[in-house]
C-alpha cells in the first residue's frame, strides 16, 4: 500500500514539476509580449473581454511545443478513426479531404448582405461601371462530397442559393461558377486542396476560363487575345510535391490531415507589368513579368502556406498595370482568398486590374471604385462561406 502511495506521490511531483517548468518556458517565450499587452490595455482603459482575448492570442500563437502538441493530438485522433477535430470545427470526408464546418439547422439569413450589394451596385453603376456578383463553389459539393453520419453540415450551398436569388431580385447580375462543377469534376484531378478550403491552382485556372467566357459572351467584355490567355497550354506548369499545408491542415497537423502538392501556372507568352501594393500606410512598387511581380517564390521554398504564392498572399489593395494589353478592359475585383489566383490570371486580360480584399482594406470600397476613371467592370467575387465579408 505504501509502495503504491509513494508511486502516486512521485508521479504527482513529476507532473507538477513538468507543469512548472512548462510555465517558466512559456513565460520566457511570451512574457514580454504579454507585458506589452497589459501596458497597452492599461493606457487605453481595461476592457476585460478584449484583454483576455489578446492574452489568449499571444499564448496560442507562441505556445511552447505547439507544433508537437498539434501533431500528437492529430495522430491520436487518426488512430481512433475520428472524422473530426477541434469540437467538429474541422471534419474529414470519406476521401480524406478536410472541411471547415459548423452545426446548423438551415441556411443563414442573407437579406442584409444582399442589400449591401444592391447599395454598392447603385452607387457604382451610376458612374457607368458594370457590377457583377461572382459566386465560387463551396468545398462541400452536393451529390459529390460524402460525410459520415453525425458530422455537421453548415448549409453553405443553400445559403448561396438564397443569396443569389436575393441579389438577383434586387437587379444585380450574377455569375454562378457552380454551374460548371460537373465539367470541372470530369476534367480536374482534384477541385480543392485536401488540407485547405481553397480550390487548387488548376481549378482556379479552369474557373478563370469560364468567368472569361461569361464576361465575353454575356456582358460584352472585349479582349482580342482571350483564347490565348485562357488556354492552359500557353502556361508553364511546375508541381511541387508535398509542399502545401492549408489552414485546415495546420489546425489538425500533418499526421492527421496530410500534405498537398502545389502547382504553379504562369504564362509562356510575354508579359510586362507595373504593380503597386498598398500595405497599411506604405506602398511597394515593382515592375517585371508575371512570374517576377505576381508570384512570391519565397512561398515555394519551404513546406507551409504555398497558397500565398499568387499576388504575395492576401493584401488589402493591389493595382496591376498590364503594359502588353493596353486596350484590355479596366477591372476591379473585390474578393476573398478563393479568387487570389483567379485575379492573377485575370490580369492577363486587363489593361489595368485593381484587387481589393475587404478583410484587409480599411477604406470605403464604393468610394474607391467610383474614383477610378474609365472603370469597366467591378466583380464581387466570393465563396459561399464568405458572403458577409463584403462591405461598402
Q: What was the pLDDT predicted at 175?
A: 98
Q: With 60 as the cut, is the pLDDT of residue 44 above it? A: no
Over residues 2-16, the pLDDT tens digits come to: 665 565 555 456 545
Rounded mean pLDDT of 43-66? 52
Of 356 and 79, more confident? 356
Collapse the DSSP code of 325 into the 3-class scheme (helix H, G, I; strand E, B; otherwise coil) and give the result.
Answer: coil
Q: With 70 as the cut, is the pLDDT of residue 23 above it? A: no
> What mean pLDDT, rounded, does the chain reach?
88
Does residue 262 contact residue 275 with C-beta atoms inside 8 Å? Answer: no
Over residues 80-94, the pLDDT tens digits come to: 788 898 789 999 999
Give the three cell numbers for residue 107.
441556411
Rounded mean pLDDT of 176-196? 96
Taking the CA atoms of the chain, what radius of gyration do you get in angstroms?
Answer: 24
Give the three cell numbers for residue 168.
438577383
Q: What was the pLDDT predicted at 15?
A: 44
Over residues 253-292, the pLDDT tens digits come to: 988 999 999 999 999 999 999 999 998 788 999 999 999 9
Give the three cell numbers for residue 190.
482534384
Helix (H) and strand (E) counts in the chain:
13, 13
Rounded mean pLDDT of 137-145? 95
Q: What was the pLDDT predicted at 254?
A: 87
Q: Among 342, 344, 340, 307, which Cα is nearest to 322's? A: 344
Q: What was the pLDDT predicted at 2?
A: 60
Rounded mean pLDDT of 345-351? 98
**Percentage of the chain with pLDDT > 90?**
72
Q: Parse the chain into domains and list their residue ranges.
A: 2-92, 111-389
Of 43 and 136, more confident? 136
Rounded mean pLDDT of 5-32? 55
Handedness of CA 376, 167, 90, 55 (dihedral sign): positive
Amino acid at each position: 500500500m505504501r509502495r503504491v502511495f509513494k508511486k502516486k506521490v512521485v508521479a504527482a511531483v513529476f507532473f507538477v514539476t513538468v507543469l512548472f517548468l512548462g510555465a517558466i518556458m512559456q513565460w520566457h517565450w511570451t512574457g514580454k509580449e504579454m507585458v506589452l499587452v497589459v501596458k497597452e490595455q492599461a493606457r487605453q482603459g481595461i476592457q476585460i473581454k478584449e484583454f483576455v482575448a489578446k492574452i489568449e492570442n499571444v499564448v496560442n500563437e507562441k505556445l511552447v511545443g505547439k507544433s508537437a502538441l498539434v501533431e500528437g493530438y492529430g495522430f491520436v485522433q487518426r488512430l481512433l478513426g475520428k472524422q473530426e477535430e477541434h469540437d467538429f470545427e474541422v471534419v474529414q470526408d470519406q476521401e480524406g479531404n478536410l472541411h471547415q464546418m459548423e452545426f446548423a439547422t438551415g441556411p443563414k439569413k442573407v437579406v442584409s448582405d444582399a442589400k449591401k450589394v444592391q447599395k454598392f451596385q447603385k452607387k457604382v453603376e451610376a458612374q457607368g461601371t458594370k457590377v457583377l456578383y461572382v459566386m465560387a463553389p463551396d468545398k462541400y459539393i452536393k451529390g459529390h462530397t460524402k460525410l459520415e453520419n453525425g458530422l455537421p453540415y453548415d448549409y453553405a450551398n443553400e445559403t448561396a442559393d438564397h443569396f443569389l436569388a436575393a441579389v438577383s431580385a434586387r437587379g444585380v447580375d450574377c455569375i454562378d461558377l457552380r454551374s460548371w462543377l460537373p465539367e470541372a469534376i470530369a476534367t480536374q484531378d482534384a477541385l480543392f486542396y485536401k488540407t485547405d478550403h481553397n480550390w487548387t491552382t488548376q481549378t482556379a485556372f479552369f474557373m478563370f476560363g469560364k468567368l472569361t467566357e461569361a464576361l465575353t459572351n454575356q456582358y460584352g467584355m472585349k479582349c482580342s487575345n482571350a483564347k490565348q490567355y485562357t488556354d492552359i497550354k500557353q502556361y508553364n506548369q511546375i508541381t511541387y510535391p508535398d509542399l502545401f499545408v492549408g489552414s485546415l491542415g495546420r489546425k489538425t497537423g500533418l499526421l492527421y490531415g496530410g500534405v498537398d502538392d502545389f502547382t504553379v501556372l504562369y504564362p509562356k507568352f510575354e508579359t510586362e507589368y507595373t504593380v503597386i501594393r498598398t500595405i497599411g500606410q506604405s506602398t511597394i512598387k515593382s515592375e517585371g513579368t508575371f512570374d517576377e511581380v505576381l508570384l512570391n517564390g519565397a512561398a515555394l521554398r519551404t513546406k507551409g502556406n504555398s497558397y500565398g504564392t499568387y499576388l504575395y498572399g492576401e493584401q488589402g489593395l493591389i493595382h496591376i498595370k498590364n503594359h502588353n494589353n493596353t486596350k484590355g478592359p479596366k477591372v476591379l475585383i473585390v474578393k476573398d482568398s478563393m479568387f487570389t489566383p483567379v485575379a492573377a490570371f485575370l490580369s492577363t486580360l486587363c489593361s489595368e486590374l485593381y484587387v481589393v480584399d475587404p478583410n484587409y482594406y480599411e477604406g470605403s470600397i464604393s468610394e474607391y471604385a467610383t474614383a477610378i476613371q474609365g472603370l469597366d467592370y467591378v466583380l464581387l467575387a466570393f465563396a459561399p462561406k464568405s458572403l458577409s465579408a463584403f462591405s461598402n
